[in-house]
Amino acid sequence: MSHPSDPLFGIHARALDVWQRRAEAIAGNLANADTPDYKARDVDFRKVLAQAGAQGDSLQLAAPSPGQIGNAGNAADTGIPLAWRVPLQPSMDGNTVDTQVEQAAYAANSVHYQATLTFITAQIQMLRTAITGGGG
């Protein structure tokens, strides 16, 4: 995970982690849309962002052993909490996944992820221009 007060990317590096975690949660919901008693999960972006801001400088990278970065592929290790999604209309089998809501949430999340990635890319391009002197 990135540091929330990163001087170059600001909060956008942390936001990218949150959008990715949310995409994974929504994809899991969609994959289990027909599983009895499955409870839909989601990430509350505002809550995670508020927690990151409240932690200030205490957010640290986790490493399983010296010289290694933590397992980025395992979403459970990200420290981004999942919340239960409240169903609009409960089903008879106890499943709380509403595929239309999940698909809309996934599409909106993709837009947010892309916007954050575009900002970070623009920052990198600006640095590249500053380093090369803008000569192309």
Q: Please report, for the chain, the start and end positions of each structural domain, with discontinuous segments joined by +.
A: 12-132
Inter-axis angle of helices 12-31 and 45-55, nearest 10: 140
Give pLDDT, residue 125: 92
pLDDT of residue 111: 97
Q: What is the pLDDT of residues 28-39, one digit of tens each?
A: 999 999 999 999
- Average pLDDT of adjacent 10-residue blocks, the chain of 136 residues: 61 87 95 94 82 56 52 52 83 91 96 94 91 75
Count Cβ atoms below 10 Å from residue 1 Cβ, excluding itself: 20
**Residue 25 identity (one-letter amino acid):** A
In a 3-state reduction of DSSP, which class is residue 126? helix
Q: If we measure between CA atoms, which residue out of 34, 10, 30, 11 comes closest to residue 22?
A: 30
d(CA 53, CA 58): 10
CB 49 within 8 A of CB 87: no
**Residue where the block lists tokens 């839909």:** 40
Give the pLDDT of residue 38.
94
Read off the pLDDT of residues 64-86 as tens digits, 9 standing for 90 and up.
Answer: 556 554 444 444 456 788 888 88
Interatomic CA distance for residues 77 and 61, integer angstroms:
11
Cβ proximity of 32 and 102 under 8 Å: no
Q: Which of 4, 15, 14, 31 lies closest to 103, judged by CA?
A: 31
Cα atoms in the Cβ-side hemisphere of radius 13 Å centred on 58 = 6
pLDDT of residue 50: 76
Residue 75: predicted pLDDT: 44
